[in-house]
Amino acid sequence: RSLPPVVFHWFPFIGSSISYGNDPINFFLKCREKYGDVFTFILFGRRVTVALGPKGSNFVLGGKLAQMSAEEAYTHLTTPVFGKDVVYDVPNEVLMEQKKFVKVGLSLENFRAYVGMIENEVTTFLNTDSAFRTFQMDDINEWGSFHSFRVLAEITILTASRTLQGKEVRNGLDKTFAQRYNDLDGGFTPINFLFPNLPLESYRKRDKAHQAMSDFYVDLIRKRKTGESNEAEHDMIAALMQQSYKNGRELSEREIAHIMIALLMAGQHTSSTTGTWTLLHIADKPEVGEALYKEQVENFGTGIEGEFRPMTYEELKALPVLDAVIREALRIHPPIHSIMRKVISDVPVPPSLSAPSKDSTFVVPKGYFVLSSPAVSQVDPRVWRDSLEFDHTRWFEDDGVAQQAYKTYADENGEKVDYGFGAISKGTESPYQPFGAGRHRCIGEQFAYLQIGAIIATIVRKLELRLEGGMPAHNYHTMITTPKDPCDIRYRRRHF
């Protein structure tokens, strides 16, 4: 047995932290040239074994529970933010039950109700936000500009709270909830992952904001129970209030509160950056914007220019151009570049992935982290034609690479998946995994497509978009891969 090769570094504790932190994808590609698909680097004293390519993803995402643990990798970051007794503060089988509870809230019936709500929020935002001043003026030929990431971040939290989070959260956004959210978010950064407890103001603010937010949700759950508030309808809180564990115990108020915080954090940055990158590409390639607009007119036009009828969820889901544009943005800009697990008992690396010689295997020892980066496979020129080019039409090629990659990936998606114990399927070995794979796979994918799709459709109906100076670079210093400044988009209103 031998250890995977260690990436060369000058300083023992710091290791490769700086190169990884500045540009993980480039760092992985350089290491792959030197060491192959499996190598270990030092991240502030931690030993992290990277496994690249679809087989590498399979190794990490399809790993056995007895060998690899997500909770041990993430709990120091997530528990102070989400709170106790949920997600990575509980054993894996409890998380699996909690994911099932959340899936109940992500129902078709709820999704049908959400489309109109999202359209409505986006329209109000465009009519009132100061960035869209020219949109609100009489001169239709006037060009204005907006900061893509700021605008999408606001629209995302407005629409997520109006739909999943519930009316009380939506109403609170104009008040203290927004500040608490910002403070909590300030404690959800790569620094918090690396150094769970520093005597810094941002950590104190995080803890205070968590407490206040947790109390806020508990209070609103109680008000619903006593009938003082009847905002229930289609949101996640209402769904969670109906659920109980296999042993018959109902979810406690705190658990519901903490799951709601977890969902807020899981969905906000991932969806807002995906929306931003999608919009940036549309602005960069006006022909994509026109294709999307045409799709809207053909499906929802009333015959009067600039007038559209509302979309249903089923119709939104079946728009090929919109779907492909979002899928392609997620291919080049998956929000999560590193998926980690902590090794809890020595794991052999399959020889088909990497081996020191034909008679021996690598072993990743207990105490190491393993890391999978689907982002690398998603732009691998050995897999994808013009791999860095944004080309949504690749998803239309019958049985092209994209179709096949999506098939293996999608096998695991949708209703067939059993998030119960030991359910792992072949989707763990696919070159397209923006939502991960295996037991920790995302359950928010359909909601994200609905949210981003309805946002983009509403914007495209109303605005022409342009980008000057080309696509912005990736900023990897944030938890989720965001665009670097400047990322302003120019816009012009299409109609009165």
Q: Which residues bind ligand HEM (CB under 6 A)?
A: 70, 95, 99, 263, 266-267, 270-271, 274, 334-336, 339, 434-436, 440, 442-444, 447-448
DSSP state for residue 301 in the 8-state scheme:
B
Nearer to ligand HEM, 27 or 101 (CB): 101
Cβ atoms within 10 Å, residue 216: 19
Spatial neighbors of 415 by CB under 8 A, at least 6 apart, are none
User: 156, 272 in Cβ contact below 8 A?
Assistant: yes
Task: Give the Cβ contact number of residue 38 at 10 Å.
Answer: 26
CB closer to ligand HEM, 134 vs 372:
372
What backbone torsions phi and psi does residue 62 show, to the nearest 5 degrees? Answer: -100, 15
Q: How far is the CB of 240 from ligand HEM (least distance, A)?
A: 12
CB of 95 to ligand HEM, least distance (A): 6
Closest separation between CB of residue 334 and ligand HEM, Å? 6
Q: What is the DSSP string of 69-97?
A: EHHHHHHHHHHHHH-TTSGGGS-HHHHHH
Greatest alpha-carbon span in the chain: 75
Residue 38 or 455 with smaller CB distance to ligand HEM? 455
Which residue, 126 or 437, has its beta carbon nearer to ligand HEM?
437
Q: How far is the CB of 231 from ligand HEM (least distance, A)?
A: 19
Minimum CB–partner distance for residue 87 and ligand HEM (Å):
7
Nearer Cβ to ligand HEM (131/443): 443
Q: CB 440 → ligand HEM: shortest distance, Å?
A: 3
Output helix, strand, coil percentages for the chain, rounded to the nearest 5. Answer: 55, 10, 35
**Which 8-state DSSP code applies to residue 234?**
T
Strand partners, 364: 347
Distance CA 238, CA 253 (A): 12
Kindly tell me which of 134 and 446 has the beta carbon lying closer to ligand HEM: 446
Cβ closer to ligand HEM: 35 or 375? 375
Residue 10, Cβ neighbours under 10 Å: how many?
7
SS3 145: strand
Q: Using alpha carbons only, what angle is made at residue 448 by residues 107 and 451, rounded to the nearest 5 degrees?
A: 90
Least distance (Å) from ligand HEM to the CB of residue 24?
14
Nearest residue relative to ligand HEM (C-beta):
444
CB of 74 to ligand HEM, least distance (A): 7
Report the DSSP beta bridge partners of residue 492: 143, 464
151 vs 300, which CB is nearer to ligand HEM? 151
Report the alpha-carbon angle 111-113-119, nearest 5.
95
Q: Cβ of residue 107: shortest distance to ligand HEM, in angstroms?
A: 13
**Closest CB to ligand HEM among 134 and 378?**
378
> In this structure, which amino acid lies at residue 424?
I
| Residue 106 CB neighbour total at 10 angstroms | 18
